[in-house]
């Protein structure tokens, strides 16, 4: 009897561990896709053809902006769930709060920094941000006298399994969180996002 119990245990335990490992690994794969993408962005490899969602811009000002903001991003995966060919990955992303920085700028708290430029170029406080105003944000980020506050957001990202690869859906909220803003005032007009299904 004891030998039978040992035999059954010897069969059941490895099977149980295999099932547990397989389930854990399946949950890990969508996380891996998300983390690899964020790692690429943080290390400024956003224009690499091999990444899941490639970023490109024809604006040198936007390039400088991305190169300033993306390395200051922090992130972690909170949880993930997989159901058949659909997955959700919950992430927490933090970066410098550009909305607050812009509000301070518009309120005149940094007038001495770029007052002549404001008088000549800024036509309306609520206007869409163009290349010039993106350069203003870069100046604010570089200014050591301006206190930088971080904003943290939690997002649920959706992925779909296509030909064995986990494909991350393009998501405006993800990119706003990565760059540290939520307001529609900030608009990277020349930025393109291209989903690369083969890189997932």
Give residue limits of the domains in the chain. 1-195
Buried b / exposed e along 141-177 (16+ C-beta atoms within 10 A): beeeebebeebebebebebebeeeebbbeeeeebbbb
- The pTM of this model reads 0.74
Per residue in 132-150, pLDDT (tens digit) is: 778 888 888 888 888 889 9
Answer for the pair 188, 128: CB distance below 8 angstroms, yes or no.
no
Backbone angles phi, psi at 102, to 5 degrees: -70, -40
Per residue in 17-35, pLDDT (tens digit) is: 333 333 444 455 899 999 9
């Amino acid at each position: 009897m004891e030998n039978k119990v040992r035999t059954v245990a010897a069969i059941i335990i490895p099977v149980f561990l295999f099932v547990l490992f397989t389930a854990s690994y399946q949950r890990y794969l969508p996380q891996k896709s998300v983390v690899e993408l964020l790692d690429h962005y943080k290390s400024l490899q956003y224009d690499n053809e091999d990444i899941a969602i490639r970023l490109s811009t024809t604006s040198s000002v936007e390039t400088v902006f991305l190169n300033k903001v993306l390395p200051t991003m922090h992130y972690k995966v909170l949880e993930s769930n997989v159901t058949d060919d659909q997955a959700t990955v919950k992430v927490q992303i933090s970066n410098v709060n550009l909305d607050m920085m812009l509000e301070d700028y518009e309120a005149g708290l940094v007038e001495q920094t770029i007052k002549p430029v404001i008088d000549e170029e800024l036509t309306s406080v609520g206007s869409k941000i163009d290349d010039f105003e993106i350069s203003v944000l870069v100046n604010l980020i570089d200014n050591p006298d301006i206190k930088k506050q971080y904003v943290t957001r939690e997002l649920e990202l959706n992925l779909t399994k296509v030909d064995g690869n986990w494909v991350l859906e393009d998501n405006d909220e993800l990119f706003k969180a990565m760059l540290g803003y939520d307001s529609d005032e900030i608009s990277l007009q020349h930025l393109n996002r291209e989903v690369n299904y083969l890189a997932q």
